[in-house]
Structure 1
Amino acid sequence: MSTYSIKDLEQLSGIKAHTLRIWEQRYSLLSPKRTDTNIRFYDDDDLKLILNVALLNDNGFKISKIASMESNEIREEVMKLTERSLTHDDQIHALTICMIEMDEDRFDKILSTNILKLGFEQTMLNIIYPFMSKIGVLWQTGAINPAQEHFISNLVRQKLIVAIDGQITQGGGKKFLLFLPEGELHEISLLFASYLIKSKGHKVIYLGQSTPNDDLLSVYKLHQPDFLLTVITTSPSSEYVQEYVNALSERFSSSEILVTGYQVIGQDLVFPKNVRQMNYIRDIKELLEEIEQVPQEK
C-alpha cells in the first residue's frame, strides 16, 4: 500500500491542500491516518476518492452533494462522465484514476473511446502525451510509485507498437535513426516520434532503449541517416548532458541531430550547429511538415 502526504494529493488531484483540509473538516471526506510520530498521511483509498471527487466537482457537482453519496455512487457517476465527456482534462483525470487503481480494462476502454472519437494522433497529442508528462513528473517527485508508472507506460507502449506496425511506407522520404542513450529507459516519446515519422512516409531505424555508443555508431555507418533523434529524460544526468550533446554533434557531423526530453528542455545548454532542440513532441510534427511528404501505401 502506498502512502501520500496532503501535498501529494494536491499534485495528483489539482485541488489545493487548503481546500482539501476544509473538505476534510466540514464534510469528513477524508480520514487521515497517523504514523507513530504523529505525522498525518493518506492511503490509496483516500487518493482514489479524492480523484473521483475532484472530477465530479470540476463538472458541476456540489461538494455537499458528493459528500452525501456512497462510494459506489461516486464511481458510477465518474464512469458516466468520462464516457460522455470530450474534455481533455477530464480524460487525463480519468486515466490518473485508472493508474492508481491499476485498472487495465478501464484504461483500455477510455483510450479506445478517445481514439475512435479523435483519432490516434490527436489522442496521443492531447491526452496521452500530457498524461505521461504529468505522471513522469509525479514519479520523479515520489507522488506515485514505480509500479504505477510502469503499469501505465507498458499499456501505452503496447498501443504505440500496434499503431506503428500499422504504418506501412513505400520507398523514398528521409531516413531517421531513433535511439535512447545508454541507461535511458523512458521510451514513450521515442515511440510516438517513430509513429509520427512513419505516418508521414519516412523511414525509421529504431534502436530503442539504452543504445550502446558503439552500436549506435555501427548502425549510423551502415544506414547514413538524414536525422538522429533522441530523448534524454534521466540519462545522462544534467551535469553530463552538454558533454553528451557535443559528442553526438562531433560523432555524427553529417546528420542533423534532434534532441528533447526532461534533461534538455529548459536547461542552459549550448547547441552545436547540427543539433536542434525539440521543446515538445509538436516540434517534431512541425519539422515533418517542413519536409516534403512522400506517398503512403494504401
Structure 2
Amino acid sequence: MSQYSIRDLEQLSGIKAHTLRIWEQRYKMLVPKRSDTNIRTYSDQELKLLLNISTLKDHGYKISEIAKLKESEIKEEVFSLSDKVMQYSDQIQALTIAMIDIDEQSFETIINKNIETHGIEKTMVNVIYPFLTKIGILWLSGSIGPSQEHFITNLIRQKIVVEIDKLPTNYDPNAEKVVVYTPEGEYHEIGILFAYFIFKNMGKKVIYLGQSLPFEELKFIIEKEKPNFVFSAFTSFSTSQDVQNYITKMGTTFHDQTIYLTGMQVVSQKLELTKNITIIHTVNQLIALGANS
C-alpha cells in the first residue's frame, strides 16, 4: 500500500493543504496517520475518498453536504455523474483511482470513450498528458511504486500503438523523413510514441527506433537515412549534467541536422543548446511541429 503526504493529496486533488487540514478537524472526513514528528501520511483509501469528494465538489456539492454521506454513498454519487458528460478534471481523477486500484476496466472505459468522442490527439492533450504530469511527480517523490506507474503507462502505450497501426504508411521516397527515439538509458516511451502518431498522421515517413538507442546506432541511421529532422525525449535520463553532455554531443556531431527535443529533463532546466536544437515545451507545440515541419 502506498503512502501519500498532504502535499501529494493537494497535487492530485487540487484541494489546498490548508483546506484539507480544516476538513480533517471540522468534518473528520480524513484520518491520517501521524509520525513521531506529527507529519501526516495518507493511505490509498483516503486518497480515493478525497478524489471522489473533489469530483462532487467540482459539480456543485457543498462540503457540508458531502460530509454527511457515507463513503459508499459518496461513491454512488460519483458513479451517477458518469452517466453525464464528465469534465476532463473528473476523468483525470478517475484515472488516478484506476491506477491505485490496478483497475484496467475503468481505465479502458474512460480512455475508449474519449478516443471515440474526441480522437487520440485531444485525449492526449486534455486527459492523458495532464494525468501523466501528476503521476510523474508522485513517482519521482516515491509516493507511488513502479508497478502502478508501469501498469498505467503500458495501457496508455497500447492505446497509442493501436491508433498508429490504423494510419497508412507513406512509401513515397520523397516524403519527409523523421527519426524518433530515446537515448540509451531512457525507457519512457509515451512521448515518442505520440510523436510517432503525430508525424505519421501528417504523412511523414517515420523511422521509429524506440527506447534506449545507443549513440553509435543513432549516428549510423542518420548517416544512412539523412532524415529531415530528429526527435527525442528525455524523461528520467540519469543526471542533469549527463543530459547537458548528451545534448552538446548530439548538437555538435549532427551539426547539419535539425533536432527537436522534449521531456521533463529538457523542459524543466536551462540548457546550453547548439543552433540546430529546439526544445518542444508543450504537446500543442508537438502537434504544430508535425503540421508545419
TM-score bracket for this pair, using the shorter chain length: over 0.9
Q: Distance in 2 between matches of 1:124 and 1:221?
A: 33
Q: What is the aligned partner in structure 2 of residue 168 from structure 1?
A: 168
- Unmatched segments (≥5 aa) in structure 2: none
Q: Distance in 2 between matches of 1:58 and 1:208?
A: 40
Aligned pairs (5 A) from 1:10-21 = 10-21=10-21
Supply the distance in 2 between the matched residues of 1:80 and 1:107 (Cα, whole angstroms).
17
The answer on whether the counterparts of 1:232 and 1:261 sit within 8 Å (CA) in structure 2 is yes
Paired position in structure 2 for 1:238? 240
Amino acid at match of 2:198: L
What is the distance in 1 between the residues matched to 2:179 and 2:96? 33
Residue type at the aligned position of 2:143: A
The answer for unaligned runs of 5 or more in structure 1 is 292-298
Residues 7 and 17 in structure 1, CA contact (< 8 A), matched pair in contact too: yes
Secondary structure of residue in 1 paired with 2:265: coil
Instruction: Quote the residue 2:156 is aligned against.
Output: 156
Secondary structure of 1:180's counterpart equals strand
User: Partner residue of 2:31?
Assistant: 31
Q: CA RMSD in A?
A: 1.7
Task: Give the counterpart letter for 1:206 in structure 2.
Answer: Y
| Aligned counterparts of 2:205 and 2:176: Cα–Cα separation in 1 | 6
1:139 corresponds to which residue? 139
**Contact 2:11 / 2:134 at 8 angstroms: preserved in 1?**
no
Q: Residue by residue, what CA displacement relative to the aligned partner does 1:87-137 show, whole Å, maximum 9, x if unpaired?
A: 222221221121222211001101111112211211111111121122112
**Contact in 1 for aligned 2:4/2:42 (Cα 8 Å):** yes
* Aligned amino acid, residue 165 of structure 2: D
Aligned residues, how many?
A: 291
- 2:105 matched residue in structure 1: 105
Post-superposition Cα deviations, 1:117-176, rounded to whole Å, max 9, x if no partner, equal 211211111111121122112211233222221111111011011111111123332111
Asked whether the equivalents of residues 167 and 201 of structure 2 are also in contact (C-alpha less than 8 Å), the reply is yes
Flag the 1:147–1:83 CA change in 2: closer, same or farther, 3 A. farther
* Structure 1 residue 44 displacement after superposition: 1.1
Partner of 2:142: helix, strand, or coil? coil
Post-superposition shift, 1:72?
Answer: 2.2
Structure 1 residues 78-87 or 129-138, which shifts more?
Answer: 78-87
- SS of alignment partner, residue 196 of structure 2: helix
Work out whether residues 178 and 204 of structure 2, in 8 Å CA contact, stay in contact via their aligned partners in 1: yes
User: Aligned AA for 1:40?
Assistant: R
Superposed displacement of residue 255, structure 1: 2.1
When structure 1 is superposed on structure 2, of 33-42 and 115-124 the one drifting more is 33-42
Please give the secondary structure, in 1, of the residue aligned with 2:264: coil
* Residues 1:208 and 2:215 are matched in the alignment: no
Q: 1:265: which partner in 2?
A: 267
- Report runs of 4+ in structure 1 exceeding 6 Å deviation: none
Kindly, what percent of the aligned residue pairs are identical? Answer: 49
Residue 38 of structure 1 and its aligned partner are, at CA, apart by 5.7
What whole-Å deviation, never above 9, does each CA across 1:215-257 have from its counterpart, x for those lacking one? Answer: 2222223322111111011214211222211211222233211
CA contact 1:82–1:90 (8 Å) conserved in 2: no
Aligned to 1:294: none
C-alpha distance in structure 2 between counterparts of 1:38 and 1:254, whole Å: 58
Q: Which residue of 2 aligns with 1:296?
A: none
CA distance in 2, matches of 1:109, 1:127: 13
Per mean C-alpha deviation after superposition, the further-off stretch among 174-183 and 249-258 is 249-258
